[in-house]
A and B are shown apart, each in its own frame.
Chain A
Amino acid sequence: MSASYTGIGWNRQKRIYDAVMIASIVIFLGAFYGLGRVLFRPPHDATDETLLIRGLGSCAIIMLHIVLWIGPLARLQPRLAPLLYNRRHLGVGTFVLGLCHAAFATVQFHGFGNVNPLVSLLTSNTQYGSLARFPFEVLGLAALLILFLMAATSHDFWNRNLTPRFWKSLHMCVYGAYALLVAHVSLGTLQQERSPLILATVGVSVAVTIGLHLAGARREARTDRGSEPAAGDSGPWIDAGPAADLPMDRARIVCARGGERIAVFRHAGGVSAVSNVCRHQGGPLGEGKIVDGCVTCPWHGWQYRPGDGCSPPPFKERVETYRVRIVAGRVRVNPTALAPGTPVEPAVIEEGARV
């Protein structure tokens, strides 16, 4: 993190993440080309250009699947949360591969006539009424434009200035791009391939994507349902479970009426509660941990002090805090959010409570 913008905030994790990503792309493209040379023999020969175009496109859509799967996978298995850390670079990488695929394909199939290649792309096939001859390239172009908009606005500058809520909504367009790309690949395969293998693979991938998102949503709904009003309490306090069961420097997420999620952290002998929503990209603070005395978002490492929800100086971000108390060994949280940055005394856990 820095007080002012940098180009790319490199650290060891980001370098490793990007190195693995680039190495995987190179290995995939090499393997795709090698296998293509072996599998596509005359009379179904594929030129080097065709293999390159297909390899880039395949790599892009596989990466898009990884981008979409990381979120729910990290929710279902917290050990996979580090994969979320640099997802933006994965998304930008997907766009770059898609752009290369589109550029090579446009040159290959539309670049050698006497018509502007882009005009040729849009006008050479206009059979929009026919499923068997649908101009699938246009779907890929539309998806590429969405991916461009997302890649171009992936820097924190845009998150900050467009506001996190709008930025998040904009980046949810990835699902629109995904739908367009699935249609692009499926229709293209129908028109150019006889083997059902690719189509079956696309179908399975879509089913896994939907299944993972449903499983992730179900897990979240279960977490939300688990937040019960505290028994025998006249006020609005909600029960956050036994204090002794809260792991040290970790949180339990509870849900207030109305859907607001609250991260209840145990730290330094006390319990504090802050909003579960990171100011950066809406990351789940409660799935992070306390590092250097601060609640640290698992997505990009933004930090907040558990006692007052303020980022440590020189940063100025603040999240809402909540009053906490411990009654008969159980943590109770008042779900009425206090103004962001409001200091709240941590509830003290009695000595002897299990860590």
Chain B
Amino acid sequence: MVAQVLLLAMGAYTGLGLIVALLFVTFGVARVDPGASGAPLLFRALIAPGCVALWPLVLFWWCSAGGAAGARVGGRGSA
């Protein structure tokens, strides 16, 4: 019973994470970090798993950045 509830909770968290990640890497990432503006698809795919795992934080960043592009940090780099 406990295992089933745990797995259900993890499934729900991951499902919500997938939705947030998809929206974030498509529309939100450049608002949070101007270094991601115009970044290639591979970059978006590489950060997507982290967005799924940390979606509440990602959502917080996105809401904090609001409509102002470049509200948080500048960026450079790669994997």
On A, residues with C-beta under 8 Å from B are 1-9, 88-89, 92, 116, 118-119, 122-123, 148-149, 151-161, 280, 315-316
Contact = CB atoms under 8 A, between A and B. Distances in A.
B46 A155 contact: yes
B49 interface: yes
Contacts of B61: 161
A144 to B, nearest CB: 13
A92 B46 CA distance: 11
Contact of B3 (A122, A148, A280): A122
29 contacts: A2-B77, A3-B35, A4-B37, A5-B35, A5-B36, A5-B75, A6-B39, A7-B39, A7-B41, A7-B42, A7-B78, A7-B79, A8-B79, A89-B79, A119-B3, A119-B7, A122-B3, A122-B6, A148-B53, A151-B49, A152-B50, A154-B79, A155-B47, A155-B77, A155-B78, A157-B33, A157-B36, A157-B77, A161-B33
Instruction: Describe B's contact surface by its main secondary structure.
Output: helix
Identify which of B49, B50, B74 gathers the most chain A CB atoms within 10 Å of its CB: B50
Interface string B20-57: 00000000010011011111111101110110111000
B43 to A, nearest CB: 5
A9 B39 CA distance: 12
B33 A160 contact: yes
Contacts of B3: 118-119, 122-123
A9 B7 contact: no
Given A118-B7, A155-B47, A5 B77 contact: yes
A155 B50 contact: yes
A160 B4 contact: no
Given A116-B7, A157-B43, A161-B61, A6 B78 contact: yes
A4 B49 contact: no
Identify which of A5, A92, A119, A122 gathers the most chain B CB atoms within 10 Å of its CB: A5
